[in-house]
Chain A
Amino acid sequence: DGGITQSPKYLFRKEGQNVTLSCEQNLNHDAMYWYRQDPGQGLRLIYYSQIVNDFQKGDIAEGYSVSREKKESFPLTVTSAQKNPTAFYLCASSTSSGNTIYFGEGSWLTVV
């Protein structure tokens, strides 16, 4: 089945450590996105990429980094510079000509 796969589903990180969340899609979509969700805050855009080897900062990019070396993959690294990383992270994708964005199942990151 086509879709967006995020892993791991649950991740625990010690303070000061970097951690990478995986996002893979087999929908042949050009654009991919990372959102962060906090309780009562809705979703906020971290980074997005329209094409391989190119990406743009969203509203809350500080403390995060991404890469887009392959069309189907858009990993997100949460660095130690992110002061409050505990959240639910959602990856999404869309075609370049469409305006409907599809989401993965999400990854829970907890700092311990």
Chain B
Amino acid sequence: GDSVTQMEGPVTLSEEAFLTINCTYTATGYPSLFWYVQYPGEGLQLLLKATKADDKGSNKGFEATYRKETTSFHLEKGSVQVSDSAVYFCALSDRGSGAGSYQLTFGKGTKLSVIP
């Protein structure tokens, strides 16, 4: 079955440091790939996505490139802020058992803490 593996946290960085959170996946077809962010006590917010190989998703200074050859979708940001402190989930979307249905497979999440 499909699976997503993310680097284990927690990750602690100083403000303005460079961020990389690694994500690799296994899937039988051609999934779409996502990064979701979860702030304390809240639901998940879509951060960015990429739907095909070599696509780059970007939002709020975060970027990730869909690398089919390495089955990876690493999240990067050049200069993190305290407000970026959250849990980040890598996910892939594949078609479910019925037509028109998509299911997400999540990684376990990586907690990021940014200190001033």
Interface residues on B, range: 20 to 34
Could you count the A-B residue pairs with CB atoms below 8 Å apart for me: how many are there?
A: 65
Binds B, one of A14-22, A68-76, A79-87, A95-103: A95-103
**B108, A31: Cβ atoms closer than 8 Å:** no
- Judge whether A104 and B43 touch: CB under 8 Å: yes
Pair B103/A48 contact, Cβ less than 8 Å? yes
> Are A43 and B93 neighbours in the complex by a CB distance under 8 Å?
no
A97 to B46, CA, bound (A): 18
Complex interface: chain A residues within 8 A of B51 (CB): 99
Which among B44, B93, B96, B98 is the interface contact of A103 at CB below 8 angstroms?
A: B44
Report the count of interface residues on A (CB-CB < 8 A): 28
Q: Are A99 and B107 in contact (CB under 8 A)?
A: no
Q: Is the CB of B42 within 8 A of A42?
A: no
Query: What residues of chain B lie closer than 8 Å to A99, measured between beta carbons?
Result: 32, 51, 93, 102
Report the minimal beta-carbon distance from B92 to chain A, rounded to whole angstroms: 10
User: A41 vs B87: C-alpha distance in the bound complex, in angstroms?
Assistant: 12
Given A90-B43, A103-B45, the answer on whether A48 and B101 have CB atoms closer than 8 Å is yes
B residues with CB within 8 A of A: 32, 34, 36, 41-46, 49, 51, 89, 93, 96-104, 106-109
- Please, could you name 17 A-B residue pairs with CB atoms under 8 Å apart, sorted by A? A4-B43, A33-B103, A40-B109, A43-B89, A43-B106, A45-B103, A50-B100, A50-B101, A56-B101, A94-B102, A99-B93, A99-B102, A101-B93, A101-B102, A101-B104, A105-B42, A106-B41
